[in-house]
Structure 1
Amino acid sequence: MAQPYRQLGVDIGLSGLTKWIRFPRVGSEAAGLDVVASCVDQFGGAFAHQLLEDCLRLLDSSLSSRTVTTLWLAATFRDFDLESLGIDGRTWLRRIADICIDRLRRDALSFTPTATAPTAGGELKEAVLTEIRSIAVALEEASAQHSYNPVADVVPALEQVVTQVDPDLGYRLLLRAVKAYFVPISDARYERYLALGDALGLGEDVVDDGNFNIWDDLVD
């Protein structure tokens, strides 16, 4: 069941952060942390709540730092490039989590961070995997072969999030990567994205924030 704070008309959590840190290019860790601090203060701490949940789920998983870095780079179009800045993926998540915890303790001093169970499973997990796999070729081509912001192995990383962490987070990161690399999608795929987002409890404005590359004559 979707939490009410997710129905805010914008993408929040880790996927939302990767959007706001994406452009213009962020050239230092300090500047990146400033963006995080600005985001977690939105919506009376609701952004911090979702962002912390996403980070804790990833940190509590068996996903490697390499995989976390791949997910981040794909979602941000390398506009905050952990590799060039020499920042380990898991270390970066811990720094984000610390900022979230500090923000939430401003409202409740006794706040104790704990990872919660995934928000979706079963048929929804399979539905998210289906969407990842059906756009795998186009997404890998757009990301791994990009002329100046290449990121390899995006699809396997997304699949690991869905199967090992949380299908909802995997779906939000899929959408962010598809948008970041401007992967062409059909009207039919767009409608599926909206329907799956609704099934996951995401508002339409979260799924479609105006950044899709929709081709009317594309069939997929």
Structure 2
Amino acid sequence: MMTSHQEFDEDFGLSGLAGKFQYPHVPLDDADAAAALVTVMAEEWDGSYGIWLLEDVRRLLESPLSDDLIVRLWLAATATHFDPTRHGMSGRDWMERIAALCIDRIRQGDRTTTSDLSEPTIDEGLTRSVLEQVRSVGPVLSEAAVTTSHAVPLPDIVAPLEKVIAEVDADLGFRLFLRVMKAYFVRISAVRQASLLALGERFGYNRDVIDEGCLNVWPELD
């Protein structure tokens, strides 16, 4: 039985993990350090974090998304701070590695894995609302991913986010979208921040999952 995500007071699952892949926490060319960080995160919340992380990863692995899109999603969410392809791993290889590390952690505790994924978020209204948020900041987000000085330019990150939201799971897609916004420090208005918080409430998130103090809010943009 998974811990309710309402209990998390910070981002969780794959989006939460991606937020930890920021230099200097993980050396840019150290795959062992990357795997070690996954293991550490999987142990958080008495292992509940690992269960949510496994759920997110399995959604991508069982989805029709191409390997290229999975790689782009990961690179966008981490601002390209860790590129699995530089270590001989495809996007799906890296997701499989994360899944294996989570399963190892889960089996060490008093929990069991399940072969069945929980039902994805299929509320059409929620899905439309998330897509509207992504599309409304798409040009600014794309520009930030290309011009941000600390990151390798990463064009076309909006399309992968849209595909996850529309074709995989709106819940996971929303969290990945927020993580990309935070990774590239995209400026938003206080009105948009309020809209994102309200959307998070519809998903049942703790407020801190949405903001974490990492959203780049500029009230003067209103």
Q: TM-score, normalised by structure 1?
A: 0.93
Are 1:72 and 2:74 counterparts?
A: yes
* TM-fit CA distance, 1:6: 4.1
What does 1:121-160 correspond to in 2, within 5 Å?
121-147=123-149, 148-160=151-163
Contact 1:37 1:99 in 2 (8 A): yes
Tell me how large the CA RMSD over aligned residues is.
1.7
The answer for the alignment partner of 2:219 in structure 1 is: 216
Percent identity between the two aligned chains: 40
Name the aligned partner's letter for residue 175 of structure 1: L
Moved more, 139-148 or 128-137: 139-148
Contact 2:5 2:205 in 1 (8 A): no
Q: 2:105 aligns with which of 92, 103, 106?
A: 103
The answer for the alignment partner of 2:7 in structure 1 is: 7
* TM-fit CA distance, 1:40: 0.2
Question: Distance in 2 between the 1:120 and 1:211 partners?
Answer: 28
The answer for the alignment partner of 1:92 in structure 2 is: 94
Name the aligned partner's letter for residue 193 of structure 2: Y
Contact 2:106 2:112 in 1 (8 A): no
Name the aligned partner's letter for residue 206 of structure 2: G
Question: Distance in 2 between the 1:161 and 1:10 partners?
Answer: 21
Question: Distance in 1 between the 2:196 and 2:5 partners?
Answer: 21
The answer for the alignment partner of 2:46 in structure 1 is: 44
* TM-fit CA distance, 1:150: 1.3
Q: TM-score, normalised by structure 2?
A: 0.92
Distance 1:110 1:35, change over 3 A: closer
Moved more, 142-151 or 11-20: 142-151
The answer for the alignment partner of 1:175 in structure 2 is: 178
Question: Distance in 2 between the 1:150 and 1:20 partners?
Answer: 20
User: Which consecutive unaligned segments of at least 5 residues does structure 2 have?
Assistant: none
**Cα shift readout 1:118-175 (whole Å, capped 9, x = no counterpart):** 1342100000000000000000011133344211211000000001110011000001
User: Which consecutive unaligned segments of at least 5 residues does structure 1 have?
Assistant: none
Q: 1:163 aligns with which of 161, 166, 177?
A: 166
* TM-fit CA distance, 1:67: 0.5
* TM-fit CA distance, 1:50: 0.5
Contact 1:56 1:97 in 2 (8 A): yes
Classify the secondary structure of the residue corresponding to 1:11: coil
Question: Distance in 2 between the 1:55 and 1:177 partners?
Answer: 17
